[in-house]
Structure formats: C-alpha cells, structure tokens
C-alpha cells in the first residue's frame, strides 16, 4: 500500500516535470538551454562530476574500511597494546575486577636474594613486586646501551621493518614515528643535552635473529618458575624524563621488567571500580632491579629521575 503511494507520487512529479518542460519549450526556450538549466550544468560535466564524486566516496569508504580492518586485526592478533588512545575501548571490554589485586597494597613487595623456590608463592600474584639487585650480574647490565641497539638494528636485515610491521613501536610523548627515527638521532639528542627535545620510547622485538642476539646477554630471570613460558617477544624501553604515559596493557600474561640503567619511578593506579577501596602507589626501581606488575589490571605510568638515562627490557611470562 505504501509502495503504491510512493509510485503514485513519483509519477505525479514526472508528469509535472514534463508539463513544465513543454510550457517552457512553448515559450521559446531552446532545448539545449533547458537542459543546462534543469541540470545546472551540461550533461557531460554533470556526469563527470557525478562519477568523480562517486569515485571519491568509494575511495574514502574503502580507505576507512581498510583502516577499521587494520585496527581490528591489530587487536584480535593479541598484540601487546598500550591503550592511552583507546581508553574507552579497553574500559568497555575488559573484565571487571574483584579488587583483590590491590586490596591493602600500599607499596610493592620488596624481595632480596630470592631463590626460585622461595619465589614460588609470589610467582603468579597480581601484587606488585620488586626484586632488588636481581640482574646486577647479567652481561646485559654491562653491555646494553643506545649504541648496542643501534648496531644491532643497523646490522640485521629486516630488523627495522619487523618493528614497523609486527612488533609494535611506542613513541609515548616523543615525536618519533619509527625505531629507525630513534636510532638515527644525533648524539646531542641521544644524550639529552640542553637545547634538545627530551624523548622516551619503547618497542617490541619479535625478529628471531635480534631476539637470539639479545638473549646472549641475559638468561631467563633466575627466580621465575622453571616451567613458566616466555614468549618470543621482548620489549625495550629507553629514554629520559616523562617515561610511559598512564595506560593498561592488553596482554594475556604477567610481566617482568629488568631495569638496566637509570632509576625509574612507577605510578600504579587501581582500575576505576577499585578506586574507592584501593590506593594509588608509587615506588622507585634502581639499576639491576626486577619489577613485576600485573599491567593488565594496574594502570601504570613511569618517569625517569632527572638527568638519568633509563634502559629496561621487559617480557611477559606465564
């Protein structure tokens, strides 16, 4: 019934239009003039404009869909995601916590000289832990620095590309867009000299050759359970001052981090549903320390003590 009514209206408009045309033709207007007036432009121009508009809409539409698709792939691949820009997405999709992880936590658990056996009861806890001086004897403690990573990436085919394509680059507040940018900055900026822009970045290593060469400088942390799994991807964080912006990690396991250079301040904030019963805590980790935080439930941000260069490596375990 509705369709019939619609058809009727269209027929009526057509008839009115034909009527108007013949009245105008009768009054002496030429056909080509009439055509131009009714279309606003000549038919060829009109068709070209229509096609260009259609093409433009198709291209924009495809581009947008491709972007959406890339975002979906990124999230569903389970890539470690730092969330400052996607706070609402993460807040809307993460499970609500029962706040056990932060209840009565006022500072991290501090451990000294802990053996694997003694660490067993802490190994899968969501309470923050610092193991003091755990990595002081790692060769990485001595040899890892900016130049080590620059040489490693410059010399490994596909190293930079692997970070761009799969491993993840985190620029935080700095103006770099890729690891290649970071590792090719001038020496004044590398050293954070006055007059240069301060920087702090992080990136994942999932290139097998790079990972293998890095791992020649450190073993699996001695206190972690023998049977715990460490994925084939490790992160490096380095730079000065502001550190990592407050975020949650979209990962499936716990994490350990080795602070190899500089002293880093961590700020841990409970998730919103626990804010009334748990506290925000801050603590300092020093060179050689291990830090273990459940970064899936604790909002976390870092800053580096003024004038110090911080370098840490980090991995998931579980």
Q: Which positions lie near ligand AKG, rule CB under 6 A?
A: 237, 243-244, 249, 255, 257, 295, 300, 302, 312, 314
Nearer to ligand AKG, 194 or 307 (CB): 307
* Tokens read off for 288: 């050689």
What's the CA gap between 71 and 69, in Å, rounded? Answer: 5
24 versus 79: smaller Cβ distance to ligand AKG: 79
Which residue number, 190 or 251, has a Cβ lying nearer to Fe ion?
Answer: 251
- Number of other CB atoms surrounding residue 125 within 10 Å: 14
Site for Fe ion in 211-270 (CB under 5 A): 249
Name which of ligand AKG, Fe ion, none residue 259 binds, using a CB cut-off of 5 to 8 Å depending on partner kind: none
The CA-CA-CA angle for residues 101, 252, 131, to 5°, reads 55
Contact call for residue 205 and Fe ion (CB under 5 A): no
Closest separation in Å from C-beta 199 to ligand AKG: 12
270 binding partner (options Fe ion, ligand AKG, none; Cβ < 5 to 8 Å by kind): none
Distance from C-alpha of 167 to C-alpha of 233, rounded to nearest angstrom: 8
Residue 33 — φ and ψ, nearest 5°? -65, -40
Gap between the Cα atoms of 36 and 43, Å rounded: 7
Please identify, using beta-carbon distances, which residue of 168 and 302 lies nearer to ligand AKG. 302
Shortest CB 176 distance to ligand AKG, Å: 15
Tokens 């890539």, residue located? 79
Residue 316 Cβ, how far from Fe ion at the closest point, in Å?
Answer: 11
Distance CA 294, CA 109 (A): 13
Per rule CB under 5 A, count of chain residues that contact Fe ion: 2
CB neighbours (10 Å) of residue 286? 13
Which residue lies nearer to ligand AKG by CB, 237 or 317?
Answer: 237
Say how far apart CA 295 and CA 80 lie, in whole Å.
11
Q: Identify residues 271-310 at the interface with Fe ion (CB under 5 A).
A: 295
Q: Which residues bind Fe ion (CB under 5 A)?
A: 249, 295
């Amino acid at each position: 019934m509705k369709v019939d009514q619609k058809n009727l209206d269209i027929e009526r408009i057509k008839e009115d239009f034909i009527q108007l045309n013949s009245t105008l033709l009768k009054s002496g207007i030429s056909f080509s003039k009439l055509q131009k007036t009714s279309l606003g432009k000549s038919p060829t121009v009109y068709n070209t404009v229509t096609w260009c508009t259609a093409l433009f809409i198709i291209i924009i539409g495809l581009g947008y869909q491709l972007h959406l698709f890339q975002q979906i792939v990124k999230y569903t691949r389970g890539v470690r995601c730092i969330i400052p820009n996607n706070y609402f997405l993460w807040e809307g999709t993460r499970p609500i916590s029962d706040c056990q992880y932060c209840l009565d936590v006022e500072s991290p658990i501090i451990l000294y000289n802990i053996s694997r056996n003694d660490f067993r009861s802490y190994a899968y806890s969501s309470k923050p832990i610092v193991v003091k001086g755990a990595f002081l004897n790692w060769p990485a403690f001595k040899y890892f620095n900016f130049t080590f990573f620059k040489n490693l990436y410059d010399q490994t085919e596909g190293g930079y590309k692997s970070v761009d394509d799969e491993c993840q680059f985190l620029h935080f507040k700095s103006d770099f867009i890729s690891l290649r940018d970071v590792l090719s900055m001038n020496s004044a900026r590398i050293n954070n000299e006055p007059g240069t822009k301060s920087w702090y970045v992080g990136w994942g290593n999932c290139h097998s050759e790079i990972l293998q060469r890095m791992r020649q400088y450190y073993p699996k942390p001695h206190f972690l359970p023998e049977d715990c799994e460490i994925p084939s991807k490790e992160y490096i964080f380095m730079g000065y001052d502001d550190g990592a912006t407050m975020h949650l990690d979209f990962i499936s396991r716990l994490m350990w981090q080795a602070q190899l250079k500089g002293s880093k301040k961590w700020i841990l904030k409970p998730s919103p549903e626990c804010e009334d019963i748990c506290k925000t805590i801050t603590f300092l980790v020093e060179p050689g320390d291990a830090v273990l935080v459940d970064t899936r439930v604790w909002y976390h941000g870092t800053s580096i003590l003024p004038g110090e260069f911080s370098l840490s490596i980090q991995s998931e375990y579980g």
